[in-house]
Structures are given as C-alpha cells and as structure tokens.
C-alpha cells in the first residue's frame, strides 16, 4: 500500500470524494464530473475500504486489463477481479468460478457494459447447486464417485482441468468448476480423513483445507437467467460513464450508481479534475505546459512505476532546459516511483501528475503473473515417453521405461514408473521423484548401453563429464584473459539524444532489457574489447537493445553493420530501425 500512501501525500485525493461518501447511505444515484481513469481507480479503492463492492465499467477489454494492472501494482491484486463475458459463453467455467469468489468477500470488479447487461442464474440457484465437501460430509467413498458422475465430471488418469476427477486407491482427486485449484480427498474407510489442494502440473499437494465446493456442470444447460452479476454482492456500486450506462431501470436493493457525465451541469458533483493535454512525445510542448501550470502555482509530480524509467526521465529533463533544471532543484517539480495509469490535474489541490509513459505516448505497463519455475508434471513426462523408450535417472543412469504401475507399500497404494536396467535389474520410481527422470536423447539416435545399478559405472561416467566441462571452462578463462589484456575503442557517455531515444521506446522496458542495456553500454565505455552474446526468445526485446547500442556507436561517428541470416529478417530489422530512429 506504500504507493497509495505516496499518492495521497502529494495529491490529497481522498478529500475529492467526501461529497459521495457523506451521501451514500441516503442516495442511490450520483452524477459526477468526468474523471481521469486513475482517479476512478482511487474512488473504487476508497469504496472498497468502506465495505462496498465497486464495479469499474470500462470501454473495452484492453482498458480493463490496464486498470487491473494498476490495481495490482498498487497492492490490490487479491482485492480486485477482472471479469467479462459474452452472451454465448455466459456459463463458461470462469463464470462459475467468478460468481463463487465474489460471494466470499468484497472485491473491486473491473468489467464492461456488455457484462452488466447479461443475466445469470440467481444467487440462490447458484448456491443450491453447489455441494460443499468437508470431513463432516455424509458421503462415503462410493457415494462420492457416484455423485461426481451425476454432476457430469469426467474420470481421468490424472486431474489436469476443471470438471475432471481421478481415483487412486483411497484417494479421489477433483477439479471443481467453481474453484481455481483441484483437491485431493483421502478416505479412511468410509470417512473423509483429509482434504488437500494440489498443483495439477506437479500433482503435489500444498495446502490442507477444511472444505471444498463442487459445482454442477449441468447448470451450463440452464437458460433461466434471473439476476444481474452485481446481485451476487451485498453492497454494489457501479461507476460508469453516461455513454455506457445500461438502458434499464434497476430496481435492486442496496445498488448505488455513480454516473460520470460527459458535460458539466448544475446537478453534478464537480471534482475540478481534468486530464493531461496531449504531449505527442514532444519535450517542447511539455515544457510549455509545465511553465503554464507553474505560473498558476501548481506542484508538478512526474511518476513512473519503475525507478530506472523515472531516473532516465529526470536526467533528460534536467539536460533539456535551464528552466526545468531550476524547478527540479527548488522542488517545484518532483519525481515519485508510483504506478499511475492516467495522469491528472487537480484544480483545488493545485497538483498535476504526469506519468512517464504518457509523455512518450506509450501504453501503460500491463503486469503479468509471476512466472513460476517449471515443475515436472507426471502427465507431461508420460506424454513424452512410451514403453520401450530410454530414460536417464540421476542416481542410477540409463534405463528402459516399462510403463506406469501401482504398487502397495506400507498398506498404501502408490503410483510408480518401472525402469529396467542392465541384467534385468528393475527400479520403481515414485511419481514424487520424477524430477530425477529425463528422457534419453542423443545426436545420432544411437542405442545407449544400459547402466548397472549398484556399481560405480554411472558415477564414473558423471565424473568424466565433469572433468571435460572443467577443461572447457579453463580454456575459456585463458581466452578471456588474453582479450582483457588487449585494448579497444572507448565510447563516450550517453548523449541527450541517446536518453531521448531510450525514453521514447513504445513499450515498458523489462528488467532484463534495462540490465543488458546498461551492461552493453558499460562495455562500450570501457577500453577493453567487448565480447557479449544477448540471448532471448522471440519478442523479448533483443532488437531494441541492439538499436540502442548501434545508436550509441553512431553518436561517436562510428559505422554499424547489422548482420542477419535471411533477407526477410534484414528487411524487418531495417523497418524497425527506421521506425525507432
């Protein structure tokens, strides 16, 4: 929440909304002046803190994603939900999951006008068709299996998707339509002994739960739609533009409408807030607007969601003109690391907020979910190998895969894979240790020699490989020592044009792009020969890094050759360089 505290400190925005909060209990509809998007986000946050469920109604899905990203960066990732649907997929699995979630607690819900116009089954019907399984549930092992069949759940070997279940001994795995994670239910006789959520990729359990909802997929066929989505929450507040308001008379208890008017009129709540002027990447226009605002006693706040972007912008403005340098030095212009989707000017507070991405006409950074380190999935491994394929076990060496079996150990049934080694030795590997097993591959497809478990053969093979790797490393060290002793051309530090080029990049720099760019420039500014390889998947921003390095060389009157493997790539790179330069 530190970002939000920073915004409150320099804008005092919370005072804007007091006219609404003071009248929420007595009035159901409010007309307000047009607000920049970030101020509507802050309004939704303040409503959430007062135990309301605000709905932010967006123009389109792209805008909805940007608002969700802003909320995530502000610290409200777990308190906001982005959800839209179309008429034809109204009963998608995501819909049931969403309806289940918003009944548990208050959320900021980001959606579209079309979503509000579609009706779903009533809240009462939804709850009636959802079965809560717990240790106290009066269902034995066979009755639960029968219930899952009646609810149209599909039996699989392993549970990977919603609507599936799997049976292994006394364990039943279920992936409910209305839950984000599958559950592993273990029976002790005819009674449930434990419920644990598990990862469908690794098949490993990670959290004990007291209960788990199982939703009926038969509701996908129901056409009796009686309720709007916002009837699933207790205190809904719809924040919507006048042009997007649904043409309906909502006769719903506790519903509040905050309607944003396009034009000023006497019966609206006027916040005296406006959007920034269009700057079109032009620093001359920016300086003109800043001078005008400063003459009217406005404080100027430049913001970015990452410190490197903010630092780069500050350096650029300080070098651009003496006026900006003076106002930065005396504190009239400040810089804060805060994610702001759309900048705004507050007349009463005499504050103007300029997001770095708006100055250079870039889209707002859309945060992606954290990428987890890939885990070995039972199903992924078994899909890549077949009976008779060669595999490598980290401890035992090369063997032949003989399939998946169930084995009883200590009165429990376990899933194992069977691997044959030399002299018909057999090793059974529990699925929890599949990270030690990989499919064997060779350059020429030669048939490998099977390893003999219990001997030093495999250990010696690994030691020989380690020695070869060590020799290769020593050779590289010697080669780099020779290069380090030679001299190269030392490029100049970044010019104003270099900083302006980098700041004008259409997309938000990734942390890796920033890191690699700085490392390359550091290499270029040293007097040692540069020897650097930049690796990355398609679309990860390698070309932009190359453009910045090439531009830096040209600024020192050097020529740059860009070599690519095909004519098509040469034309693509030419167009990219031309667009950026």
Place of tokens 């899905």: 61
User: What was the pLDDT predicted at 339?
Assistant: 92
User: Minimal CA–CA distance to 43: which of 77, 67, 66?
Assistant: 67
State how far the Cα of 433 lies from the Cα of 392, in Å rounded to an integer. Answer: 13
Compute CA 546 distance to the chain's CA centroid, rounded to the nearest angstrom: 27
Torsions phi, psi of 351, nearest 5?
A: -130, 140
Q: What predicted TM-score, i.e. pTM, was given to this entire model?
A: 0.66
User: Minimal CA–CA distance to 504: which of 580, 574, 578?
Assistant: 580
User: What was the pLDDT predicted at 5?
Assistant: 87
Q: Which residues pair with 264 in a beta bridge?
A: none
User: What was the pLDDT predicted at 125?
Assistant: 78
Place of tokens 């860009």: 562
User: What was the pLDDT predicted at 453?
Assistant: 87
Which option is the CATH number for 378-454: 2.130.10.10, 1.20.210.10, 3.40.190.10, 2.40.10.170? 2.40.10.170
User: What was the pLDDT predicted at 219?
Assistant: 47
Q: What is the pLDDT of residues 263-287, one digit of tens each?
A: 777 778 888 999 999 888 889 999 9
CA distances from 32 to 7, 40, 110, 254 (A): 22, 11, 19, 19
User: What was the pLDDT predicted at 513?
Assistant: 87
User: What was the pLDDT predicted at 1?
Assistant: 67
Low-confidence residues of the chain: pLDDT under 50: 86-93, 219-223, 369-376
Greatest pairwise CA separation for the chain in angstroms: 92
In this structure, the chain runs to a length of: 581
Cα within 13 Å of Cα(556), Cβ side: 16
Q: Which CATH class is domain 2-124+224-260?
A: alpha beta
Q: What is the pLDDT of residues 315-354, one digit of tens each?
A: 999 989 999 999 999 999 999 999 999 999 999 999 999 9
Domain residue extents for the chain: 2-124+224-260, 130-215, 273-359, 378-454, 496-580
CA distances from 320 to 163, 374, 503 (A): 60, 46, 13
What CATH fold (topology level) applies to the domain 130-215? Penicillin-binding protein 1b fold (3.30.2060)
User: Are the C-beta atoms of residues 298 and 332 closer than 8 Å to each other?
Assistant: no
User: What was the pLDDT predicted at 367?
Assistant: 57
State how far the Cα of 252 lies from the Cα of 262, in Å rounded to an integer. Answer: 25
């Amino acid at each position: 929440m530190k970002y939000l505290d920073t915004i409150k400190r320099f804008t005092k925005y919370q005072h804007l909304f007091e006219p609404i909060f003071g009248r929420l209990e007595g009035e159901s509809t409010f007309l307000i002046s047009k607000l920049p998007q970030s101020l509507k986000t802050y309004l939704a946050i303040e409503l959430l803190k007062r135990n309301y469920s605000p709905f932010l109604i967006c123009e389109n899905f792209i805008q909805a994603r940007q608002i969700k990203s802003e909320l995530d960066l502000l610290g409200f990732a777990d308190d906001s939900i982005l959800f839209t649907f179309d008429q034809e997929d109204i009963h998608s699995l995501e819909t049931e999951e969403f309806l289940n979630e918003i009944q548990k607690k208050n959320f900021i819900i980001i959606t579209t006008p079309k979503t509000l116009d579609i009706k779903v089954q009533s809240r009462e019907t939804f709850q009636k068709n959802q079965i809560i399984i717990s240790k106290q549930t009066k269902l034995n092992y066979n009755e639960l299996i029968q219930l899952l069949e009646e609810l149209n759940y599909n039996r699989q070997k392993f549970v990977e998707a919603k609507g599936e279940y799997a049976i292994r001994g006394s364990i039943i795995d279920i992936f409910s339509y209305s839950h984000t994670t599958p559950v592993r239910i273990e029976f002790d006789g005819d009674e449930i002994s434990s419920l644990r959520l598990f990862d469908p990729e690794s098949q490993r359990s990670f959290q004990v739960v007291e209960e788990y909802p199982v939703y009926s997929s038969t509701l996908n066929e129901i056409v009796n739609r009686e309720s709007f989505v916002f009837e699933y929450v207790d205190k809904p507040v719809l924040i919507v533009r006048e042009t997007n308001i649904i043409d309906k008379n909502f006769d719903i208890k506790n519903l509040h409408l905050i309607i944003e008017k396009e034009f000023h009129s006497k019966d609206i709540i006027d916040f005296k807030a406006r959007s920034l002027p269009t700057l079109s990447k032009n620093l001359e226009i920016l300086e003109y607007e800043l001078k005008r605002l400063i003459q009217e006693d406005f404080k100027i706040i430049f913001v970015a969601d990452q410190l490197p972007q903010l630092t780069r912008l500050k350096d650029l403005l300080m070098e651009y003109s003496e006026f900006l340098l003076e106002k930065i030095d005396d504190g009239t212009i400040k810089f804060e690391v805060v994610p702001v989707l759309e900048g705004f000017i507050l007349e009463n507070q005499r504050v103007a907020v300029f997001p770095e991405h708006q100055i250079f006409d870039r889209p707002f950074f859309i945060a992606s979910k954290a990428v987890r380190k890939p885990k070995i999935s039972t199903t992924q491994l078994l899909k890549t190998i077949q009976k008779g394929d060669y595999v490598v076990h980290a401890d035992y060496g090369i063997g032949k895969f003989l399939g998946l079996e169930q084995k009883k150990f200590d009165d429990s049934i376990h899933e194992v894979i069977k691997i044959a080694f030399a002299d018909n030795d057999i090793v059974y590997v529990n699925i929890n240790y599949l990270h030690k097993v990989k499919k064997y591959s060779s350059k020429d497809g030669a048939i490998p020699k099977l390893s003999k478990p219990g001997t030093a053969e495999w250990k010696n093979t690994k030691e020989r490989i380690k020695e070869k790797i060590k020799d290769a490393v020593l050779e590289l060290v010697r080669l780099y020592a020779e290069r380090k002793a030679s001299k190269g051309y030392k490029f100049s530090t970044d010019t104003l044009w270099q900083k302006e080029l980098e700041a004008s990049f259409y997309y938000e720099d990734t942390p890796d792009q920033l890191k690699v760019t700085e490392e390359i420039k550091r290499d270029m500014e040293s007097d040692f020969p540069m020897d650097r390889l930049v690796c990355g998947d398609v679309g990860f921003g390698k070309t932009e890094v190359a453009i910045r390095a090439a531009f830096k060389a040209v600024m020192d009157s050097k020529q740059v050759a860009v070599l690519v493997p095909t004519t098509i790539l040469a034309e693509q790179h030419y167009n990219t360089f031309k667009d950026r330069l």
